[in-house]
Structure formats: C-alpha cells, structure tokens
Amino acid sequence: MATHSELRDFWERRLERDWTESGVGYRALGRPFNTWMYRVREEVFLREAGRLGLSGSSVLDVGSGTGFYVRLWERLGAADITGCDMTDAAVARLRERYPDHRFVRQDAADLDAFDDASFDALSCMDMLFHITDDDRYASAVREFARVLRPGGTLVLSENCLQRPEQRGEHQVNRTLEWIAGTANKAGFDLVRRVPMLVLMNAQVDASLPWRKTWGGVLRLAALTGATGWLAGAALYPVERRLVRTRRESPTTELLVCRRRV
C-alpha cells in the first residue's frame, strides 16, 4: 500500500491534470460516463440529505475535490459551507469556483483548522476508502465526531463489503462490520444506509466472476467518449430505479450517522 505522502502526491497529480468528474470518479470509464454516474449520485444525495432538515445549518465538506457536494449543500439551503481537501490543486480551484465559501487544505485525519463542535453536519463523499491506513481512517472518523456538535449529522459514502475486505495501493474496500464499528467507537450511531449506485460502478461486493465480467463490460462500453456517453445514458434510468428500490448495493452506499449527545 502507498504511504500517506505517496497518496497525497498521487491525488495532487491526478487533480492537477483532471479536475473533473472523471478525475474524482471512475477514471477508466471516462468523463462522459462519469457525468451520468454523478447524476445518480446527485439525486441520491439530495434525497437523503434533504430529508434531514439541515437548511440553515453549518456544514463541513471533507475531501471536496471538484466541489460537487458543495454545490448540492447550496441547493439544500445550508447557511454556512466550509470545504477542505488534502491537495493544493483542489483547494486553489475551489476558492475560485466558490468565492463565497471557505476552503482550506486539511487532511481528514487531522482537522486542526476547525474548533470542537463547530458544525451541524459533515459530508465525506467517496473519500474514506482512499485512506489505506486503518489507523488514519479511524482518526478521521474521530475528527469528524470532534468537529460536529452533539446530535450532528455525518453523511458519507463507502463501499460496505459483506465479503472479505479488499486492499489495493490507493484504495481499501472495508467491511460493513469494520466501518460501522469504527463509527460507533468514535461516537456515531448509524441511522440509515442506502445504495448510492448499483450498476454504474465497480462491483466490489459481488462474486469475483461477476465483478470481472461487469467491469469488463463497463470498460468496453466506455472505450470512447461517444460510447461512454451512450452507455451512461442507457444505464441512467435503470440505475435511478435500482437505487430507489434496493436496500443494499454491491458497490457504493450512502450512510447517515448521528453523533451521540
């Protein structure tokens, strides 16, 4: 596995070159397919975060990337939005794109720029599985609890495996038991878990034959920008239905946690 410094350098280079949906998403599938994928992510986030009644709240978005979820918090009526990212490339561009909000370079495992109990809600989307060191992951979740007010809300997306964990150089897919246990130790109660995607992402919690087969199908469909756009457009209505009707997903899920009082 890569060290923390190597991971930061990896993301610094990646976002410097590609500050788009493909840069922060499933890069092998290209930007046109990722654009459709992020439409589904947007709908799920707005539906689930919208039901929490956080209009007028103070929000911290950790791992802001391109600012995709900053924009969604704006739509949900958050009164005060702060974002942070571990890369200079993202922070500089976020400040230009969203001049009315504050952005700082901070690592999720050490949010020392923020005081205790200073936010009503915190989002951390598609980022935690890129923390390959378990201790740093646990430290990040403890930091989330520290900066949230008692009763505050944590919204995150994760690959919650019910099969054995999968470890790679830049990503670790952990088990639901480990993720929920880590959140519980940090002072969170898991109150809701729903699919964020079903077919439009790597099938990390499926059998190996299906995982390889479907991954190959997606990469073949996205060989060019045009075919990737068509594949995304074809899957989009199917995916919208699946994320509304399924209780669990073989890929990314959205979790809502509450900081215990």
* Type of residue found at 185: K
pLDDT in tens, 162-210: 999 999 988 999 999 999 999 999 999 999 999 999 999 999 999 999 9
pLDDT in tens, 95-128: 999 999 999 999 999 999 999 999 999 999 999 9
Pairwise CA distance, residues 215 & 238, whole Å: 17
pLDDT in tens, 50-62: 999 999 999 999 9
Residue tagged 């920008």 (tokens): 225
Whose CA is closest to 249, among 197, 212, 208, 207?
A: 197
C-alpha distance from residue 96 to each of 58, 60, 70, 114, 124 (Å): 21, 18, 13, 21, 21
How many alpha carbons lie under 13 Å from residue 188 in its C-beta half-sphere?
Answer: 30
C-alpha distance from residue 227 to each of 20, 37, 180, 217, 253 (Å): 19, 14, 38, 12, 26
CATH number for the domain including 173? Answer: 3.40.50.150
pLDDT of residue 30: 87
For 167, phi and psi rounded to 5 degrees? -115, 125
For 176, phi and psi rounded to 5 degrees? -60, -40
pLDDT of residue 11: 65
Domain residue limits at 80: 4-259
pLDDT of residue 28: 80
Q: How many domains does the chain have?
A: 1
122, 154 Cβ separation under 8 angstroms: yes
The H or E element containing residue 41 is helix 30-50
pLDDT-derived band at 13, boundaries 50, 70, 90: confident
Range 70-87 burial, b when 16+ CB lie within 10 A, else e:
bebbeebebebbbbbbbb
How many alpha carbons lie under 13 Å from residue 156 in its C-beta half-sphere?
Answer: 26
pLDDT of residue 23: 57
Q: What is the average pLDDT score of the chain? A: 93
Whose CA is closest to 25, among 75, 86, 83, 66?
A: 66
Residue tagged 């059998």 (tokens): 207
pLDDT of residue 141: 98
